Amino acid sequence: MLEKAREWIREARSVAVLTGAGISAESGVPTFRGPGGLWRQYRPEELATPEAFRRDPRLVWEWYDWRRQRIAQARPNAGHEALVRLERSKPRFWLITQNVDGLHERAGSRRVIKLHGDIWLVRCVACGREQRDERVPLPELPPRCACGGLLRPGVVWFGEALPPGAWEAAEQAVREAEVLLVVGTSAVVYPAAGLIPLAQACGARVIEVNPEETAMSARLDCSLRGPAGVILPALIPSEPNVQTG
């Protein structure tokens, strides 16, 4: 299986990658679902919503403040680094991520499409002003804008639209891809998970890297079972591929 997947990746000139929380798990960033996916007694579906924020902005901010601290302490791992090598070896490449932690960019990835926003952005619910704020912990919860309005994290919650242009860019990347590599996502959140059947409908081979079976495993060409920090370095060699033809 691994050998076949290596060959598909080696031969492809156009590659797309879809990542989820699992790629950052080995960096110490908790995933949403499965073991370690709970914060206090809450499920992410109860906190990552506009309704939860309206009801209790302080509670939602406590969760984000805790995650921001975990992310600030984290370093990119061998999985993030392998994807940087892959990007550098391909003439056409896009890394589509559901993650808000910024670890792909910190590892050196450049062609990144962020579907669910960025945990280091804050946006005023009153005047709409958005800014970067990397302070951990935040001095005041919930934080406030200079205009007095409440600030919210610059991320995409359930029921909200993706950032302008992000979905179109992701769809385009997947339509063009000969190979889609799906790493560390449970593939239950849409529209992101819909990129997998789209890639297949457009003729791409889809390779999954995940220690567990997922909602999409049964329909995929190849599922590699194991942690991203182990499988991705084995899949993507250290020497950049020389592209011919």
Query: Would you count residue 154 as binding ligand BJW (CB under 6 A)?
Result: no
Query: Would you count residue 210 as binding ligand BJW (CB under 6 A)?
Result: yes
d(CA 157, CA 217): 25
Report in angstroms how near the CB of residue 121 gets to Zn ion at its nearest: 14
Report in angstroms how near the CB of residue 234 gets to ligand BJW at its nearest: 13
The 3-state secondary structure of 91-133 reads: CEEEEEECCCCCHHHHHCCCCEEECCEEEEEEEECCCCCEEEC
Angle between helices 228-235 and 2-11 (to 10 degrees): 60
Query: Would you count residue 158 as binding ligand BJW (CB under 6 A)?
Result: yes
d(CA 93, CA 10): 13
Among ligand BJW, Zn ion, none, partner that 22 touches (CB below 5 to 8 angstroms by kind): ligand BJW
Report in angstroms how near the CB of residue 238 gets to ligand BJW at its nearest: 20
Query: Would you count residue 185 as binding ligand BJW (CB under 6 A)?
Result: yes
Q: How far does Cα 142 stand from its chain's mean position?
A: 25
Query: Would you count residue 31 as binding ligand BJW (CB under 6 A)?
Result: yes
Report in angstroms how near the CB of residue 58 gets to ligand BJW at its nearest: 16
Q: Can you name the residues that pair with 95 across neighbouring β-strands?
A: 17, 112
Show Cβ contacts of residue 106 under 8 Å, excluding neighbours closer than 6 positions: 75, 76, 80
The residue among 151, 163, 98, 157 whose CA lies nearest residue 126 is 151
The interface with Zn ion within residues 73-132 (CB under 5 A) comprises 124, 126-127
Supply the residues annotated as catalytic: 116
Which residues of this chain interact with ligand BJW, rule CB under 6 A?
A: 20-23, 25-26, 31-34, 37, 44, 48, 98, 100, 116, 155-161, 184-186, 188-191, 209-212, 214, 227-228
Q: Which residues bind Zn ion (CB under 5 A)?
A: 124, 126-127, 145, 147, 149
